[in-house]
Structure 1
Amino acid sequence: MVPEFTQQLLNDAPLYQGTLILFISLLLSKIAPLPRAVQPLVAFNYLAKEMANKVNHSNRSHSQQVIAGALSAILLVVPFWAIITFLLQLAAFPWFFEFLVLYICLNDENFNIVAEEVNRALNHKDKTRARKMLTPWLTRDTQELSDVGLSKATIEKLVTTPVYGTVASVLFFILGGAPLVLAARMLKQLELCWLPINPKFRYFSRPVYVLNTLVFALPTWLWNLSLAIQGGPKSLARLFKPVSLNGRIYHELQTCSIAASVLNIELGGPMKFNGVRVNTAKLSHGPLPEKGSIREAIKLARVSHAIWVGFVIVIPMIWAGLRYLQVS
């Protein structure tokens, strides 16, 4: 029985190798992230901004802006994705490059470190430092944010990042390997750069936004579920109450609404982009964020992250157990 079970384990080696790649990537993205200045996706973000500056013109018709956005996304994503995927196929040790792709795609997961620093700065009444730390992570204006605004922005970023980080990486790696993870992450980076809430990108970002709404529908719902189960029935009910923005469903607002419900605070509200005020829904589930709200949000995100890491570990263990029962 033992040799037969060993043979079954060897046959399933790709499953266990993939699990190990995922686990190490998730672990290192938290304890040893790349400095933001040298992250490849930050450079990709810079290219996306430069592309938008050249081809996104508000004086053009809405349809022209939509077409320009679609063509820009294709031009930015397809060549880089194709080259990296081709190199993955040629690599002598593809597992190493798969790990590298996952590690790079997960680097926004270290925002919890930034959130802790923002929380520390706010506790010391140092709003200038808190704004400075948040600015590289957000496309909205941060220079006029109050203590409450800084807390809201930090919490919202903290609870939405794992959707395209941990959850999307786990699901898409299972479904299509590192190339699918990379493609989804690049599309999400474009959405973060060309934020659809920003009036400047209202039409230009629409193709990417619509595509991402479909691509990240399942990761968003599963992450929202892992948040909602920590808040009980009231928060679970929020899973079935979409939050609209100008008549459209915006998936990040739904995640923020559930987080606000679990934390019993208010999130959302007006934002500014290049000095232009944009009204978004106020997600009122309690008082405004207070001194300890960021700390509570960090705990909430950590528990949900632990659920997903546990999922990565438990599934292959269950599979090995079933294999053992099969041969016993």
Structure 2
Amino acid sequence: MRSNKWFYLIVLSVIWGTSYILIKKGLDGFTAIQLGAVRIVIAGLFLFLIGFKSLKTISKEEWKWVAVSGFIGSFFPMFLFAFAETEIDSSIASVLNSLVPLFTLFLGLLVFGVSFTKNQFLGVLVGLIGAGFLILFGQNVNPNQNYWYAGFVIIAAIGYAGNANIIKSKLQNVSPMAIAVGNFATIIVPALVILPLSGFFSNEVTSGKFFWSSLGYVIVLCAIGTCAAKIMFNKLIQLSSAVFSVSVTYLIPIVGIFWGLLDGENFSLKQFFATLLILLGVYLVNKKKTPKKAS
């Protein structure tokens, strides 16, 4: 079981680290709203094809948590990341997503009453300071970009953190496949409403220069970065802990920065040190120590 969780962690890091550049390429042909909606629809169809029968295993009581998990862990983040990358580089988005373990601990403490240590709280502070520096330095490196949009990534990270705690505390007995399919069963309906309203099917979009290439990137993103990865992530949470599972963000920035540099993005030495500060915070959050109970 221990070796399995490390396997899932590494594979997920590579998959999700690549997701940010795929989102960026998808935005060449689509708006942020179009990208978020079509991503949900395509991913939902993929999941229904391979796991529709698993929905029968979800009890009536569990469905409400599956729905909440779907919206805060998939629906809103897909739109938020798309909006963020209209203004900031994909590499910056991948680094800021490293805040997820910090928010996982914080929400676990406030909402679910999990145990904590002084090191973990120190880690949260260090990580947030690192994120602040990353945004500050980024404004100097890319003055033409609006770094207020980094806030969308931070909101999405909070959503991911809440999702990890919900799966660990409320859906431990539901199969990873059922959770993933159930998530999209609840969010595909609003996405199907948003997609035509967004102008996705207009001639202006479908005849655009980047329509087919962007759609191709989105399909890859959905099949691997959303469907396969979501099932693996749900399994990882059940094999380990909520905090360990989101430690996938240790390695995601490495992959994300690599793809960003390959695509011509700027990433300064100062931003690199800010990234290390965030990862130091994540390390402190995951460091083992005798816990105190939340009061």
TM-score (normalised: structure 1):
0.29
Larger Rg: 1
More helix by share: 2
More strand by share: 1
